[in-house]
């Protein structure tokens, strides 16, 4: 968790959650009274801010603490949960919850369940609320969405607030944090970004931020622009008669400057 770029507020919230779990475990081992804990949460933030990654890490940490047995993450969308009629919706939702037992159910774009007034979306929520207590020692549920979407979901279906006590807030990445993310991706792919490439990347992220275009991109912007830079680098390398290993793995200023963003 600490190795993730940015996300300071989320890291703090997760640290408190995990610390509380460790203390509860210690008290349980010593026969002391332990307050019943609920680990369900809203993961709130714009696209590309690391919500899925953090959800996987939390699930694994809770497994290591013995809170859940398997620690796997089941990612679902509206299409996975909503059927053509109420009975089918109930069955689909129940089956997904059963598949998630021992781990974490991650509901992507949770607000989409009800945003068009579809009654089957409310059936999904009713089913989840019915089962969340029954499986409280076997299942963690995360509802994902933007700030406005999650607020709307809670206002329309306030019972969720009672059953989902935690909210982890994912802030947008700064241009410099996106530069770090791009450099890490490049390194993992076996590429080197030279000083000129790094400078142009930072300038691009600053410009996108000033134009307000990072809100719905975040880390996706870093990945997209890097991959376009790699494509440009490959085209440039074709013009080198006998490229060295350094040539083959280095992305230079020209490669990034040519990116259409």
Each residue of 188-208: pLDDT tens digit? Answer: 999 999 999 999 999 999 999
Domain boundaries, the chain: 8-170, 175-257
Q: What is the pLDDT of residues 27-62, one digit of tens each?
A: 989 999 998 889 999 999 999 999 999 999 999 999
Query: Which class in CATH covers the domain with range 175-257?
Result: mainly alpha
Q: Is the pLDDT of residue 217 over 80?
A: no
Q: What is the mean pLDDT of residues 207-222?
A: 87
Q: Looking at the predicted structure, is the pLDDT value of residue 256 above 80?
A: yes
What pLDDT score does 177 carry? Answer: 95
Mapped to the 3 state alphabet, what secondary structure does 160-222 carry?
A: HHHHCCEEEEECCCCHHHHHHHHHHHHHHCCCEECHHHHHHHHHHHHHHHHCCCCCCCCHHHH
CB neighbour class for 89 (10 Å; exposed up to 12, middle 13-18, buried from 19): buried
Q: What pLDDT was estimated at residue 33?
A: 92
Average confidence (pLDDT) over 148-158: 95
Place 1 in a pLDDT band, splitting at 50, 70 and 90. Answer: confident
> Is the pLDDT reported for residue 216 higher than 90?
no
Q: Mean pLDDT throughout 76-104?
A: 95
Element (H, E) at 73: strand 73-76
pLDDT band at residue 213 using 50, 70 and 90 as cut-offs: confident
- Residues 112 and 78 sit within 8 Å (Cβ to Cβ): yes
pLDDT of amino acid 37 = 87
What local confidence, expressed as pLDDT, does residue 215 receive?
A: 78
Give the CATH class of 8-170: alpha beta
Q: What's the pLDDT at 98?
A: 96
Q: Mean pLDDT over all residues of the chain?
A: 94
Tokens of 209: 């931020």
pLDDT of 107-127, one tens digit each? 999 999 998 888 999 999 999
With CA atoms as reference, report the closest residue to 34 among 46, 42, 43, 26: 26
Q: Looking up tokens 């369940």, which residue turns up?
A: 113
Structure tokens at 70: 């398997």
Contact 143, 20 (CB under 8 A): no
- The answer, yes or no, to whether residue 96 has pLDDT greater than 90, is yes
Using the structure block, give the residue that is written with the tokens 């507020």: 9
Please state, in angstroms and rounded to a whole number, the distance separating the CA atoms of residues 213 and 126. Answer: 36
């Amino acid at each position: 968790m600490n190795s993730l770029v940015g996300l300071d507020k989320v890291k703090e919230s997760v640290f408190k959650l995990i610390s509380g779990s460790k203390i509860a475990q210690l008290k349980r081992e010593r026969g002391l009274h332990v307050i019943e804990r609920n680990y369900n949460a809203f993961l709130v933030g714009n696209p590309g801010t690391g919500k899925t990654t953090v959800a996987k890490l939390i699930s694994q940490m809770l497994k290591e603490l013995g809170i859940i047995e398997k620690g796997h993450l089941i990612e679902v969308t509206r299409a996975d949960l909503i059927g053509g009629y109420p009975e089918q919706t109930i069955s689909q939702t129940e089956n997904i919850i059963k598949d998630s037992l021992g781990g974490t159910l991650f509901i992507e774009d949770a607000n989409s369940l009800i945003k068009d007034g579809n009654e089957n979306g409310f059936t999904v929520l009713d089913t989840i609320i019915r089962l969340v207590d029954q499986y409280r020692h076997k299942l963690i549920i995360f509802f994902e969405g933007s700030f406005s979407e999650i607020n709307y979901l809670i206002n329309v279906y306030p019972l969720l607030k009672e059953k989902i006590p935690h909210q982890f807030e994912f802030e947008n990445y700064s241009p410099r944090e996106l530069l770090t993310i791009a450099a890490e991706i490049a390194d993992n792919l076996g590429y080197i970004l030279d000083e000129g490439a790094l400078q142009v990347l930072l300038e691009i992220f600053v410009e996108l931020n000033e134009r307000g275009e990072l809100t719905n991109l975040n880390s996706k912007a870093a990945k997209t622009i890097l991959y376009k830079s790699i494509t440009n680098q490959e085209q440039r390398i074709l013009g080198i008669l006998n490229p060295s290993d350094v040539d083959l793995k280095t992305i230079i200023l020209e490669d990034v400057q040519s990116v259409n963003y």
